[in-house]
Every structure is written in C-alpha cells, then in structure tokens.
A and B are shown apart, each in its own frame.
Chain A
Amino acid sequence: DARVTQTPRHKVTEMGQEVTMRCQPILGHNTVFWYRQTMMQGLELLAYFRNRAPLDDSGMPKDRFSAEMPDATLATLKIQPSEPRDSAVYFCASGLAYRGKDQPQHFGDGTRLSIL
C-alpha cells in the first residue's frame, strides 16, 4: 500500500535553530502539499507544488519558512530561525491532479514539532 513518508516523526529543538522536514510523495503523484495543524487553527495549507513547481505559498510566513522540491521524490519544508509559535504538527500530502475530477489527497503521518 503506497504511502506518503515524512521524516522526522518528532522534532524537539530550541528557539532559533533551523528545522528541516522532509516528505517523499507517493510515486506517480504530481501534487505535493504542506499543512500545519494546531488546536486553535486546525489544518492550514502552507504551500503546494504541482509537477515540482510551487503554485501557492500564500499561507506560509515568508520571512522564516521555505518550501522546495529538489526532485519528484523529495519535498522539504524549512524553518529558520524557528520560534515557539511554530510548534505544531506538519503534514505533507500528495495527490494526482486532473481537472474537473475529485482529487483526494493522501497524507503522511506528520512531523510533530516542538520549539522550546
């Protein structure tokens, strides 16, 4: 059963440190999404890519967050410098985009990030 793979599963670090989260989308999927989930805000879209090109990162704080897809099998989300308010669960999801059809996304297990 194909799955989206995220690493690390858990990360605890001190404020000011760089954090890098990685995602391997399902083979053959052409869209990749980064979400952040907190109790207060629920699931928020940070960025998404189609065919490795960034399409929308309007939900991402630009001063400290960056998202890239160096190749079709790897997406990264970086935070530098990290702050306590970045503590959340970060999910990566992938899907197959085609117009006018349902586009269910498959989520990874998430990275639980705690910034002290």
Chain B
Amino acid sequence: RKEVEQDPGPFNVPEGATVAFNCTYSNSASQSFFWYRQDCRKEPKLLMSVYSSGNEDGRFTAQLNRASQYISLLIRDSKLSDSATYLCVVIRSYNTDKLIFGTGTRLQVFP
C-alpha cells in the first residue's frame, strides 16, 4: 500500500462545475501537506499548502482531517485551464524535507 493514495481519475467535468479530490495518507505522524499541480509533460508546481484549519485561495479550497488522515481539494467554477493532474503531497516530520507524492488525480474540464 502506498503511503499517499489518490484516485487516479480521470475526472471529466464541464466548465463551471465544482469538483473535489480526496487523498489519504498512512503515516499518522505526517506534519505538512500540499497540493501540487502537474500539466502534461511539465514539471509539478506548488498549488497550495494545506493547513489544519482549512484554507482557501480563490476558487481552490483545501481541507485537512488529521483524525481520518485525509486531505481534500475543492475546485469551484472549473475552468478549461484547470485541466491537469493534481498531486497530493505529504512531509512526514519536521526534521525532514522529503516530499512523499501521491500518484495524482487527473482532471479534464470540457467546454
């Protein structure tokens, strides 16, 4: 079982839709959490950090549930440009910089 698990998708949604991705992690000591975005044949780029209290950045909302060990990403009012793979990322502890990546969830937004 992978340490960070995601539904690979693809999620096919129309423009304007709201879509949510979940991610689970197995190491209960994990400390830091992120969502990265990766476009086809490009490098991963940080989308947003995930804080315990939940956080929002424009149309994107991230939530963390430590008790259930899952992280979510909600995208409202989807745009065609949101089409990409979304990677859930975990850092295990404060004394390491190692990012543990999920395999990603692919989103395709259609007109």
Chain A interface residues toward B at CB < 8 A: 31, 33, 35, 41-45, 48, 50, 55-56, 91, 95, 97, 99-100, 102-110
From B104, which residue of chain A is reached at the shortest CB distance?
A42
Question: Contact at B34–A31, with CB atoms within 8 Å?
Answer: no
| C-alpha spacing A31/B42, complex, angstroms | 21
A43 x B101 contact (CB < 8 A): yes
Interface of A is mostly: strand
Residues of B contacting A44 in the complex (Cβ-Cβ under 8 angstroms):
101
Q: Quick check: B95 and A99 within 8 Å, CB to CB?
A: yes
Known: A42-B102, A42-B104. A107 touches B97 (CB 8 A): no
The answer to whether A45 and B99 touch across the interface, beta carbons within 8 angstroms, is: yes
A43 touches B43 (CB 8 A): no
- In this complex, the member of A42, A97, A108 whose beta carbon has the largest number of chain B beta carbons within 10 angstroms is A42
If A99-B95, A100-B94, A103-B91 touch, whether A42 touches B101 (CB-CB below 8 Å) is: yes
Q: In the complex, what distance in Å separates the CA atom of A48 from the CA atom of B100?
A: 13
A50 to chain B, nearest CB (A): 7
